[in-house]
Amino acid sequence: ACSNHKPIAANQPLSSDQETLYQALGGAPKVEQIVDAFIKNIAKDAQIIGYFYDANVDHFRQGFIQHFCEATDGPCTFEGDSMHDIHTGMNITEGDFNRVVELLVQSLEQAQVSYPLQNRILKKLAPLRTDIIKI
């Protein structure tokens, strides 16, 4: 009886209209796929790679995954410093910010994220612009 019912995990909402962006994307495996593609795209980009010259890639990967998870309403809390504190001092230009967003969009394409979900992600990240670029 009831074998047609999907089991409901304790941490999931009961109906799909409560689905978070994180869940719609496909959760942790998809976020990791996106972030790994993003890191490769940064590594290949002559305009941006210089910013990461002294960065610890494993630390960046963990932090970016956690931040992305929280930003998409996933079950995570970003434990790092504020976006402003992390990026201030890097003197990031508007053009370089835009380029990083482009590299992120490329990563979303590579991970086969649909356009509607891409737009929902960009909407979450757009407000961070003023925290990240140099004033």
Binding site for ligand HEM (CB under 6 A): 48, 51-52, 55-56, 59-60, 63-64, 67, 80, 86-87, 90, 92, 96-97, 100, 125, 128, 132
If the CB atoms of residues 23 and 42 are measured against ligand HEM, the closer one turns out to be 42
Least Cβ distance, residue 90 to ligand HEM (angstroms): 6
Least Cβ distance, residue 116 to ligand HEM (angstroms): 19
Is residue 31 a contact partner of residue 74, using CB atoms and an 8 Å limit?
yes
Is residue 8 a contact partner of residue 57, using CB atoms and an 8 Å limit?
no
Least Cβ distance, residue 88 to ligand HEM (angstroms): 11
Return left, alpha or beta for 32; rule: phi > 0 is left, psi -120 to 50 is alpha, else beta.
alpha
Question: Is 116 strand, coil or helix?
Answer: helix
8-state DSSP, 79? -
Which residue's CB comes closest to ligand HEM? 63
**134 alpha-carbon distance from chain centroid:** 21
Which residues, in sequence order, are CB contacts of 56 under 8 Å at separation 6+?
Answer: none
If the CB atoms of residues 27 and 63 are measured against ligand HEM, the closer one turns out to be 63
If the CB atoms of residues 12 and 47 are measured against ligand HEM, the closer one turns out to be 47
If the CB atoms of residues 37 and 48 are measured against ligand HEM, the closer one turns out to be 48
